Amino acid sequence: MNKPRTGLLAILMMTAALAGCVSEDTSDLDAQIEDLDTQNTNLTQTLAEREVAISELEASIAGHESNIAGLEAAMTLMEEQRDSLLALLSDSQEFANQTIALAEAMNETIAGLHAMLGENATQVQQLQTDLAEQQDLVAQWQQTAEDNRADLSGADLSYARLSYADLSGANLNGADLSGVSWYYTTCPDGTRSNDNGNTCVNNL
């Protein structure tokens, strides 16, 4: 009987001891576990965010690489265009040199034309003076012929303007009448030059 009682007593004592251990306060441990769960959740969320950020960075890197490839292609094209422009510039410079040479030649030609123009102006002025003298002479002849039907035989009337002159009764035998302008002229025989084929050569 003593042994069973002793064993029962030991069991009761162990049960009491275990009951005392189980009944101890575990709130700190629970708090630590909760903190660890929270940290684990935060780390999981942070990891997910990092993965999203990494994916975005990889996409951005791919976009930049594509842009770099496009820029390299554009740079190659621009270099080709630059070389073409340099070639055109060289051709343009040669054309400009030719144009300058042509302009200088034209300036020389213009200077020559100005000189010729001056000479022609002088000649025109001289011809105008000669014409005025001829017109004065013709006017004198016309007046003389009209006043007294002067004897103009053998006179040099070449290229004289006898328009509207009244030569009726004038003596033009042997006169040089080459190039004379007959316009509404009264011929020596009294007829009109317009009725005689615009001349008085045959009606002296």
- Residues 169, 97: Cα–Cα separation, whole Å: 74
pLDDT at position 195, please? 92
Q: Assess if residue 152 is contained within a domain.
A: yes
Q: What is the pLDDT of residues 173-202, one digit of tens each?
A: 889 999 999 999 999 998 999 999 999 998
Handedness of CA 15, 21, 26, 30 (dihedral sign): negative
Q: Assess if residue 65 is contained within a domain.
A: no
Q: Assess if residue 85 is contained within a domain.
A: no
Quickly state the pLDDT bin for 138 (edges 50, 70, 90).
Answer: confident
For residue 174 the two structure tokens come to: 């042997």
Count each helix (H run) and each strand (E run) in the chain, helices first: 2, 0
Contact 159, 178 (CB under 8 A): yes
Q: Which residues pair with 156 in a beta bridge?
A: 176
Domain count, the chain: 1
Contact 200, 183 (CB under 8 A): no
Nearest to 170 by CA among 193, 143, 197: 143
Q: Assess if residue 13 is contained within a domain.
A: no
- Residues 57, 69: Cα–Cα separation, whole Å: 18
Q: Assess if residue 42 is contained within a domain.
A: no
* Structural domain span for residue 144: 120-196
Contact 128, 147 (CB under 8 A): no
Q: Assess if residue 113 is contained within a domain.
A: no
- Residues 185, 183: Cα–Cα separation, whole Å: 5
Q: What is the pLDDT of residues 75-124, one digit of tens each?
A: 999 999 998 898 888 888 888 888 888 888 888 888 888 888 888 888 88
Q: Assess if residue 57 is contained within a domain.
A: no
Q: Which residues pair with 166 in a beta bridge?
A: 186
pLDDT at position 14, please? 55
Mean pLDDT is lowest, of 29-33, 43-47, 78-82, 153-157, for 29-33
Q: Assess if residue 145 is contained within a domain.
A: yes
